[in-house]
Amino acid sequence: MNQQKTDLIRVLIVGDSPALAQALTTAESGPLRFEVHTLPSIPEAEARLEPLRPELILVDWRLSGLEGFLERIRTQPIGRVIIGPPLSASEVVRLVRRGAHDFLLAPHYPDEVLECLRRTVALIRERRRAAGMVERLQRQLQQLSVLYEVGQTLTASLRLEEILSSIMEAAIHLTRAEEGGVWLLDEAGEALHLRVHRSRDAEASPAIPTLPLTMPVADSLLGRAVRTGRPIMLGPGVHQLDTGILVRSLLYVPLRAHGRILGVLGVLNRLQEAAFSESDIHFLTMLGDYAAVAIEKARLFEAIQAEKSKLEAILQGIEEPVLVLDFQETIILTNRSARQHLGLPPQAEGQPFRAVVSHPELLSMIDRKPPIGQTVRQEIALPNRLTFQASLTAVEGVGYVVVMQDITYLKELDRVKSEFVSIVSHDVRTPLTTIRGYVSLLPRVGPLNPRQQEFVEKVERAMQTIVELLNNLLDLSRLESGYALSMETCSLNRILDEAVQIIRPQAEGKQHTLILDLPPDLPPIQGDPRRLEQVFLNLLSNAVKYTPPGGRITLRAREQEGYIAVQVSDTGVGIPPSDLPHIFSKFYRVRREGETTEGTGLGLAIVKSIVERHGGRVWAESEVGKGSTFTVLLPYHSIRPALPSMPRVRGDSAQDPQPSPDEQHPQPDGVASQQAPSKGNAAGEQ
């Protein structure tokens, strides 16, 4: 009961009691005021309960239907007093059980009437306060239930409009507001834009002005909630907003997430007198916190989706095949070119890579799995006669990115070049042989003076160099064009021993110490014995050439992780760091001041080609003035494991200035990791 109704009590007297009515009139001089209505019967009283809305009913105990009447109104917040003579104890108990609150005995003295009414009114008011508390608790429970349901909805949804609609409907329902809206700040933080509006009455009059679509933050009541970061409440009464809208009550709360205000949630009443309460502020603030977090999450999701769309558009526009896998090898993204060249299904995203790709070379590259930030590269030939240079890069937080560059035209150019070199080399050999024959016949047709003899010897040496160059060119051309090797099971011990015996006379001619360090049980390998012997003869010959007299040359071999690692070390002049990455390139020769050593610059290129044709790898380590070490890695298993790593500073068979793909694996112990021997290194001499 509110304060305006506290001093005036509406009383209904049922029955013929003029003395009681007179007593009430006399009692009005006290602190209570009474509005008295009299009805002669219970049926008439029941018919007038709704319009009269009495707070206290006094009923004559003699009226017919008394107990039924008490039963029917006992749930209503109305004081019920029985008037009459003193009753027996059993009758009093029966009437109390039916809902009677008190008894008023005749004759009716004003003081006794007033005291009885005071007791009954106090009892009813206390019950009404309790009922109000129960109602508030029920409403709070309802609000908490709605908050929980809204929280579940917001957690499950990533669509901004759906989130805002759920928030607005919950706010209007629980505050019993007529309408409301959500305004969001623009990026500059200078204006609020209405993103969603809801009305409890879907058929509201079109004559009622709509909520503002855009409001400045600086000079508006709506913006004050943003500027102060505090709720704004108006009412009860009639208030004209800065937009000209008339409202009777209004409540704005800021939407705050992580200390930053994103917008405003507002509810208002234009027609009804109901004002908003502190409980409504508390509820809307909690709802606003839910909304702000959900809005931020939805915006982040929208930004991610936009970036993903851009990335997909870029990927689809790239002509090179591109695949993105996570660290569990599940396909995340593919572009049109990858699906076309690799024959991927339209819905390849989300499927395991190995379930949709069966190309063995591509699978073997994925098996190499480089560390974060590093790249492995591999040449891949597809069944459609195209050749790609594929790179696999590990990206932190993403997975693996595969990019395949079409190098078919480069391979074709290389093939044409090799054919041209082969044809030219072959055609040049015939006239060169003729010239060489006639030069050798010159002494037979007549004596030559010393000057002429010197010229003839120079011509013969030049022709020998040309023949050697042509032979090397033809050799390299056959290897690069895929000329079949004579593969067989062969003993590397025997090949290395024969190479050492062939080179030994040259080494002894320069007083070199030649050391052969081979274990007796090296496993056999599949290879071309003649070509492998050519590899080690070339490396040993270079060691003899570039090692000063009295130096040491060591040939050692070790079994390592499914490979045989063979090293040729010398104590020669060494290779400058700037030249080391290029020494396996065709025609590349290290130029040193005053050097007279002859060569074609093709020997190491042939070594590289032969080793790679055998599924191996070759690289070099060197230090100027201390010597060089060349390492050849050859597989002896039919299914080869990943290549052991090469040193970072080297000249190797990969003509790529980037780190080698095989640097992702640990170096072989005891062989590949050894440095070139110096004078103090007695390795292999025991």
164 shares its domain with 79 = no
What 598-602 contacts at long range (C-beta under 8 Å, 24+ apart), as own/partner pairs, is 598/465, 599/545, 600/465, 600/468, 600/469, 600/472, 602/469, 602/472, 602/473, 602/476
564 shares its domain with 650 = yes
Residue 674 lies in a domain: no
Residue 140 lies in a domain: no
In this predicted structure, what is the pLDDT of residue 319? 80
Residue 272 lies in a domain: yes
380 shares its domain with 465 = no
Half-sphere CA count of 469, side-chain side, radius 13 A: 17
Is the CB of residue 285 less than 8 Å from the CB of residue 264?
no
Is the CB of residue 608 less than 8 Å from the CB of residue 653?
yes
Residue at 7: amino acid letter: D
- Where is the domain boundary, 425, 458, 480? 480
Is the CB of residue 276 less than 8 Å from the CB of residue 252?
no
Residue 148 lies in a domain: no
Residue 312 lies in a domain: no
For residue 273, the enclosing domain spans 157-200+211-302
515 shares its domain with 385 = no
The ranges of the chain with pLDDT < 50 are: 1-6, 29, 204-208, 597, 638-686
476 shares its domain with 501 = no
In this predicted structure, what is the pLDDT of residue 209? 52
- Where is the domain boundary, 302, 328, 349? 302
Which has the closest alpha carbon to 481: 330, 344, 613? 613
Residue 142 lies in a domain: no
Could you give the number of structural domains in the chain? 5
397 shares its domain with 416 = no
Q: Which CATH number characterizes residue 370's domain?
A: 3.30.450.20
Q: Which CATH number characterizes residue 502's domain?
A: 3.30.565.10
CA distance 326 to 558: 38
Q: Which run of H or of E encompasses 336?
A: helix 336-342
CA 357 to mean position of chain CA atoms: 24
pTM listed for this prediction: 0.42
CA distance 22 to 30: 14
Is the CB of residue 371 less than 8 Å from the CB of residue 305?
no
CA distance 644 to 665: 6
535 shares its domain with 418 = no
How wide is the angle at C-alpha 382 spanned by C-alphas 379 and 388, nearest 5°?
Answer: 35
Phi/psi at 246 (nearest 5 deg)? -95, 130
In this predicted structure, what is the pLDDT of residue 140? 63
347 shares its domain with 296 = no
Q: Which CATH number characterizes residue 173's domain?
A: 3.30.450.40
502 shares its domain with 623 = yes
Which 3 state secondary structure label does DSSP give 355? Answer: helix
Q: What count of residues does the chain have?
A: 686
Residue 685 lies in a domain: no
Residue 146 lies in a domain: no
In this predicted structure, what is the pLDDT of residue 640? 43
416 shares its domain with 402 = no
89 shares its domain with 192 = no
264 shares its domain with 336 = no
- Where is the domain boundary, 448, 480, 512? 480
CA distance 419 to 476: 11
